[in-house]
């Protein structure tokens, strides 16, 4: 029997760590839902318009346009830019499938470019290397709420006349050099899916400072209504119920962010007690939201303990950490088998890409070995005691790592 819980010792935390109740709600959401039900006006109307105004101001953008999720918001943005069959869109490989799917949905070709090691976000240099004369758009994600290098990305995009869609699905409230994300590129896209910072079950919103794109996105969202030219589009509206819930969620977001950041700081203040976990944040990032705090795991400082074993040992001590994306997107079967369906004619109009040959080494190392995060509803929404316990558990694992090797 060893000292570590995984080898039979007593755990740092006696009871398993519980996920914070998420999505969080109280009576206010119930009242908002009843208000809409009783109004008889359930389809997109004033609640949506009011929420759009609140959210645009919050993200420092001139316009915000709701839709029914944070995947179609990116598809609408691509359609607004006229991206179509055979066009290329550069995306990073460490992201949710939606970032690639929206590109495929308009018949365009996802081109993967590598990420930066310290935060998993699109690397401007790799983006530039991936540009061809067919590149029409780029979709940097603000991974886990850490803003991407928007100076570098905007510089490359402007140089090559490429439109920028910020995938800010995780990044409500985050800032790059004092400006909130989603208001830096041409269009920003946010999600209100159940794990996000603000939640309406499903839901999404686009942000932009461009009046023309705003008008076009509004019409693309619903049947082409209100546009001067005919539009071949669909119906992706948000309902009044979702917007009413979001208006309530909005009243809590800043307090929740402050809580998470305070907790993250407790962890980061003790990081020098752990040799082998590092944190690096670009000083141009002026506000985080604590969706995830990105760290790097160096197995050599844990006597070669693979990350998966580290997670197991931590769990036995009663705590959890995780890796957001354990597989680069292009390694998924969709890309490896190019299972894009018969309606996708991207490579009949453009370049053929064999995704089995794609390799983004930094992303692969982060996904398989180095990347690790403190997540929001497991740790950062918890108590200060939880944060200290998490550090204690990691220190204990490091001090007794021989037991599990
Ligand atoms: C990075 C990223 N982009 C886009 C999306 C898609 O958002 P939605 O689920 O609202 O369609 C998600 C998650 O859900 C995401 O994590």
Taking the CA of residue 141 as reference, the ligand 1 atom at the shortest distance is 1
> Ligand 1 centre and the CA of 191: distance in Å?
6
pLDDT grade for 1, boundaries at 50, 70 and 90 = confident
CATH of domain 5-23+253-325+364-404: 3.90.1150.10
Name, in order, each residue with C-beta under 8 angstroms of 25's C-beta and a sequence gap of 6 or more: 245, 248
Which of 77, 181, 188, 191 to mutate to test ligand 1, by most ligand atoms within 8 A of the CB atom?
191
pLDDT-derived band at 21 (thresholds 50, 70, 90) equals confident
Instruction: Please tell me the distance from the alpha carbon of residue 122 to that of residue 90, in angstroms, as a whole number.
Output: 9
Q: What are the pLDDT digits (tens) for 299-343? A: 999 999 999 999 999 999 999 998 888 999 999 999 999 999 999
pTM score, two decimals? Answer: 0.97
How many residues are listed for the chain in this entry?
A: 405
* Mean pLDDT, rounded, for 357-371: 98
Please determine whether the domains at 5-23+253-325+364-404 and 27-251 fall in the same fold group of CATH: no
CA nearest ligand 1 atom 10, residue: 70
Name the pLDDT band for 376 (thresholds 50, 70, 90). Answer: confident
Please provide the CATH number assigned to the domain covering 27-251.
3.40.640.10
What confidence tens digit (pLDDT) does each residue in 199-208 have? 999 999 999 9
For residue 310, give the H/E element and its range: helix 307-316
Residue nearest to atom 14 of ligand 1 (CA): 193
Q: What is the crossing angle of helices 46-58 and 240-250, to 10°? A: 40
Task: Please tell me the distance from the alpha carbon of residue 294 to that of residue 144, in angstroms, as a whole number.
Answer: 8
Q: Name every protein residue with a CB atom under 6 angstroms from any ligand 1 atom.
A: 69-71, 95-96, 98-99, 141, 167, 169-170, 191, 193, 202, 204
Q: What is the pLDDT of residues 129-182, one digit of tens each?
A: 999 999 999 999 999 999 999 999 999 999 999 999 999 999 999 999 999 999
Is the pLDDT confidence value at 20 over 80? no
Mutate to test the pocket of ligand 1, among 67, 72, 92, 96 (most ligand atoms within 8 A of CB): 96
Q: What pLDDT does 330 receive?
A: 98
Question: What are the structural domain ranges in the chain?
Answer: 5-23+253-325+364-404, 27-251
CB 152 within 8 A of CB 397: no
């Amino acid at each position: 029997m060893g000292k570590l819980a995984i080898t039979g010792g007593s755990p740092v935390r006696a009871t398993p760590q519980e996920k914070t109740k998420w999505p969080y709600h109280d009576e206010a959401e119930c009242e908002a839902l009843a208000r809409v039900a009783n109004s008889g006006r359930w389809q997109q109307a004033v609640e949506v318009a009011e929420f759009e105004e609140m959210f645009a101001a919050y993200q420092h953008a001139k316009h915000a346009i709701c839709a029914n999720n944070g995947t179609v918001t990116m598809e609408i943005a691509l359609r607004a830019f006229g991206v179509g069959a055979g066009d290329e869109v550069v995306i990073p490989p460490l992201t949710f499938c939606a970032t690639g799917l929206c590109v495929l949905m308009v018949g365009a070709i996802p081109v993967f470019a590598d990420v930066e090691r310290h935060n998993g976000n699109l690397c401007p240099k790799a983006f530039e290397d991936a540009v061809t004369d067919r590149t029409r758009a780029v979709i940097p994600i603000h991974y886990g709420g850490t803003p991407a290098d928007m100076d570098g990305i905007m510089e490359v995009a402007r140089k090559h006349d490429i439109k920028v869609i910020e995938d800010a699905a995780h990044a409500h409230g985050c800032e790059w050099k004092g400006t909130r994300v989603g208001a830096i590129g041409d269009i920003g896209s946010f999600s209100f899916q159940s794990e996000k910072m603000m939640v309406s079950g499903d839901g999404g919103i686009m942000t932009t400072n461009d009046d023309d794109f705003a008008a076009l996105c509004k019409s693309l969202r619903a049947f082409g209504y209100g546009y001067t030219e005919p539009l071949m589009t669909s119906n992706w509206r948000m309902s009044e119920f979702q917007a009413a819930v979001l208006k309530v969620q909005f009243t809590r977001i800043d307090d929740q962010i402050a809580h998470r950041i305070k907790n993250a700081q407790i962890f980061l203040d003790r990081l020098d007690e752990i040799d082998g976990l590092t944190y690096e944040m670009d000083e141009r990032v002026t506000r985080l939201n604590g969706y995830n705090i990105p760290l790097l795991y160096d197995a050599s400082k844990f006597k070669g303990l693979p990350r998966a074993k580290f997670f197991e040992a931590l769990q036995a001590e009663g705590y959890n950490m995780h890796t957001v994306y354990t597989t680069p997107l292009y390694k998924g079967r969709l890309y490896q088998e190019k299972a894009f369906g018969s309606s996708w004619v991207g490579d009949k109009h453009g370049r053929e890409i064999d995704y089995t040959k794609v390799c983004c080494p930094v992303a692969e190392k982060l996904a398989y070995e180095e990347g690790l995060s403190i997540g929001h509803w497991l740790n950062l929404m918890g108590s200060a005691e939880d944060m200290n316990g998490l550090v204690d558990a990691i220190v204990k694992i490091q001090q007794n790592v021989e037991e599990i090797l």
